[in-house]
Structure 1
Amino acid sequence: MNKKVFLIVLLYTFCPSVFGQDNSWPLQKCITEAMKNAIEIKIEQLNVKKAQKQHNSIVNQMLPNVSFTGNQSYNFGSTIDPATNGRVSSNIQNDNFFLNAQMNLIDFKAFATAQKTKIEIEKAKAQLAIIENEYQLQILESYYQALFTQELLMIQKEQFKNAQFNLNRVTKEVEIGSKPKSDLYDIQLSFAQEELRMMETEQSLLRQKTQLFQLMNVNDVAVAEVILENAIPADSDAVNQSISNPKIKFAELNYQSIRKDTQLERANNLPTLTTYYGFSTFYYKPLNQPNAVVADFNQQISDNKNHQLGIQLNVPIFNGFRNNKRISAAKLETEKSQYAIAQEKLKVDNQIVLENQNRNNYQKLFAKLQETKSYAEASFRTSQAKFSSGVIDAIVFSSVKNQWLNAEYDLLKNKLQQHYVALKISLLNGNTF
């Protein structure tokens, strides 16, 4: 029994990660879960499948249409006798059966339609890529906002230990009479203020993590216990600069689709060549004429068979210039779609330029922030010694300590911001996680 207890204690001591795995959420895990649960992405995936089902290839477009028609009619009074094809005064039951097949041999509209529906599949995929890209950008921003706050809270907690130490020390010194009670009031005020700021940071972190997991559509996680991983890879600046943003690709595909609309309108002015085949037969029976002699049903169906085979050429000549106007309108839509491509490229380029500028600014600030942190840390150490010896009061010491906290957080946030901007630029370039 003692051996089992020893092994359990050893496992907890040297393998804490085994028991903390579920609470650790790196950025990649968040994005993977979000992509799996996003309802909007699932809707777009169905739109892709719908576009694929709606696509008909050229061969499919050219397959014949076959239909069967049957009707039964009753003629009263003066009618045509189907047997003699002469007019008689009688009541006749007439059953007709038709089998028709029609196939287009040349149809320019079918070619354009097949090409357009193929482009629509690519458009649906590009639209899905846009939704995924924008969703990843939202997750990235939400993740790093919470990560900034989490790192700030860790720094505050670490420095709060110093505040507790100083409060306990001053309390004892006041009790033995080596310090005035006013020093205790000052340190108690500083301690309460730090505790309040830490509580506010905890509340802000909980709200931001809740928003992150709501955005991910993950509800079965204890958000308060989640730890976001602060892992900055060494190659965070190595981003692919080749731009393949899905918005640009969608605009280009939309341009191609609209060009096919113009071809469809032009196809209305082109001839179509159609072949057809028809088969028909009928059965008739005079009503209220018991003495009439007619062949039975099977005999009539066999005797009355008729076949028709032909080719039809349809050449449009004049449609009141309506189709020409539709062609002109389609050309204008094509020009508009070209401008849309240029507009999307300009938007993406401008955004990447701004993000690169932000990254350069963060990199330039990094050295200065390191220098500021070293000065603030040195100032804090000397101020701690001065405060312990009573040279400075708690108010001055608290101010120096806050400067150190701010300098340490600003440096860490700068590192995270550089990584965040690098990932954002990668997403804007069309890359995915």
Structure 2
Amino acid sequence: MKIKIIIGLFIFCCGVLSAQEKKWTLEECVYYAVENNLTIEQFELDLENAKIDKSDAIGDMLPNFNANASLSGNSGLVLDQSRNQQVTGTVTTASGGFSSSVNLFDGLRNIHRLNRAKLNALANQYRLDNLKDDIMLAVANAYLQVLSNKESLKVFRAQYAVTEQDLVRTKELVDAGVVPRGDLLEIEATAANQEQQIVNGENQVLISRIGLAQLLQIRDYENFNIADEEFDIPPSNILDNSPKTIFDKALTFRNDIKFSLSNVDLALKDLQIAKGAVYPTLGAFFNYGTRYSSEFRNPLTFDRIAFADQLYLTDGIAYGLQLNVPVFNGFGVKNNIKRAKIGVERSRLQLEQDKLDLETNINQAYVDVKSFSKAYEAAQKTLEARRLAYNYTKERFDVGLMNAFDFSQSQSRVDNAEAELIRTKYDYIFRLKVLEFYFGLPITLD
């Protein structure tokens, strides 16, 4: 028994350690978010409902079949329905039968409802896929934000390590009387400021990790982390295509556009269903019934007739056709047609608006890629220049030709340039992936 407990604890501890050591890649985050997002699960339920509506529409086109049976007892002066006479005593009666009816013609509304149900299921699928697209972009943005904050934190720690070395060296120079004590205080102030940057950087990493975990519906924030990877600007030739080319391709596969198109088709089906109400409806029916009474007697011998014989003697059938012609229904049919026409026009306007929004977003994404590309190149040049200037000032500071304040200012400019380079780098990567996503390329950092 003890051995089983020890083995169980070992397996549990291994599972906990495995969960703590797991580092999530971008692809894993995207896949997990799509599989576990609560809104996606709700939309999937809507899709299942749409499929049930399709089954309902098919069922409305089939004949119905219903059976019925009843049993009752009456005491005193009662009506014997089998003989249609008043009798005194206790009478037990029973009846049963079945009926069936089918709609032969209803202005093709049942056919249109079936087609509408199919379109609605397709529209819900497009709606679900569009939500997945939005979540994938949101996860990619959050993931890159975590990476950006992690790289910034690494830079802050590396800068602090260099400052610590400068602090040690400056203390030695102060003790030797080479430089004034004010320079030491200035370096200490710089170190304190960098310690604050490290604390803020750690907080930013934690907050961004929590934000990403919330997108993934993961509540174990403390043990959630992403892979410690460094990504360079991925190669891409997306800018070889014009915004018009990207927009034209996006129209062929974007799920939000497909969803809008399906809404137009749904509105047209609603109009056809509304117009079908002006036509006559034709249906067929068939009914069979029989009955039993405990006081049903032979009219010649007055003997009670057996149960089975009564069912045979009293059964009957009814069948026929039923035609309904709409003449006047308080303007209801006419107004429903008008509403359906308005719905068609509204869905068409929404489609054009969605196309316009997509074109605007693509043009903005295209401009963002070019802008952030230039900003990243400028940040690289700025950092290179700041580092050269810093190296020059450091040489002067080391030989006592520059005071600590000017040296710390030079170092601060390098810090700002490195932070700006990291920010523009990941902003550029994300904008690049957004534009590629509009072109139909998957979200990867390869």
Describe the superposition over 1:109-163 as per-residue Cα deviations: whole angstroms up to 9, x where unpaired: 2111111111111122122123222222322232222222222111222222211
Displacement of 1:381 in angstroms is: 1.0
Residue equivalent to 2:277: 268
Residue equivalent to 2:125: 125
Residue equivalent to 1:362: 372
More divergent stretch after superposition (54-63 vs 382-391): 54-63
Residues 335 and 224 of structure 1, relative CA distance in 2, 3 Å threshold: closer
Residues 66 and 364 of structure 1, relative CA distance in 2, 3 Å threshold: same
Displacement of 1:286 in angstroms is: 2.6
For residue 250 of structure 1, the aligned residue among 259, 282, 307 is 259
Displacement of 1:78 in angstroms is: 7.8
SS of residue matched to 1:25: coil
**Cα pair 2:285 2:321 within 8 Å, conserved:** yes
Alignment TM-score, normalising by the size of structure 2: 0.83
Displacement of 1:68 in angstroms is: 0.8
Displacement of 1:178 in angstroms is: 2.6
Residues 391 and 365 of structure 1, relative CA distance in 2, 3 Å threshold: same
SS of residue matched to 1:417: helix
* Contiguous gaps of at least 5 residues in structure 1: 1-18
Alignment TM-score, normalising by the size of structure 1: 0.86
Residues 45 and 237 of structure 1, relative CA distance in 2, 3 Å threshold: farther
Residues 296 and 350 of structure 1, relative CA distance in 2, 3 Å threshold: same
Matches of 2:442 and 2:316, distance apart in 1: 65
Displacement of 1:425 in angstroms is: 2.8
1:15-414 to 2 correspondences below 5 Å: 22-56=21-55, 60-73=59-72, 79=79, 82-83=82-83, 87-90=84-87, 93-107=92-106, 108-220=108-220, 222-223=222-223, 226-227=226-227, 229-232=229-232, 234-236=234-236, 238=238, 242-243=249-250, 244-286=253-295, 292-414=302-424
Displacement of 1:64 in angstroms is: 1.1
Describe the superposition over 1:353-383 as per-residue Cα deviations: whole angstroms up to 9, x where unpaired: 1121111111223333332222111111111
Matches of 2:141 and 2:262, distance apart in 1: 29
Residue equivalent to 1:6: none
Residues 229 and 395 of structure 1, relative CA distance in 2, 3 Å threshold: same
Question: What one-letter code is carried by the residue in structure 2 that aligns with 1:159?
Answer: Q
Question: What one-letter code is carried by the residue in structure 2 that aligns with 1:48?
Answer: L
Residues 390 and 125 of structure 1, relative CA distance in 2, 3 Å threshold: same
Matches of 1:20 and 1:94, distance apart in 2: 72
| Identical counterparts, % of pairs | 22
Matches of 1:224 and 1:161, distance apart in 2: 27
SS of residue matched to 1:235: coil
Residues 122 and 233 of structure 1, relative CA distance in 2, 3 Å threshold: farther
Matches of 1:39 and 1:250, distance apart in 2: 21
Describe the superposition over 1:29-67 as per-residue Cα deviations: whole angstroms up to 9, x where unpaired: 221222222111112112212221221387543221000
Matches of 2:216 and 2:57, distance apart in 1: 42
Matches of 1:184 and 1:78, distance apart in 2: 117
**Cα pair 2:126 2:255 within 8 Å, conserved:** yes
Matches of 1:81 and 1:32, distance apart in 2: 71
**Cα pair 1:237 1:422 within 8 Å, conserved:** no
**Cα pair 1:104 1:275 within 8 Å, conserved:** yes
Residues 88 and 272 of structure 1, relative CA distance in 2, 3 Å threshold: same
Describe the superposition over 1:288-338 as per-residue Cα deviations: whole angstroms up to 9, x where unpaired: xxx952211111001222123323333323323320111111111111111
More divergent stretch after superposition (365-374 vs 275-284): 365-374
RMSD: 2.9
What is the count of residue pairs matched by the alignment?
411
Describe the superposition over 1:61-105 as per-residue Cα deviations: whole angstroms up to 9, x where unpaired: 32210001123456775857534xxx5332554322121011223
Matches of 1:350 and 1:377, distance apart in 2: 40
More divergent stretch after superposition (375-384 vs 318-327): 318-327
Residues 59 and 187 of structure 1, relative CA distance in 2, 3 Å threshold: closer
**Cα pair 1:245 1:429 within 8 Å, conserved:** no
Q: Which stretches of structure 1, 4 residues or more, deviate above 6 A after TM superposition?
A: none
Residues 57 and 226 of structure 1, relative CA distance in 2, 3 Å threshold: closer
Matches of 1:40 and 1:133, distance apart in 2: 13
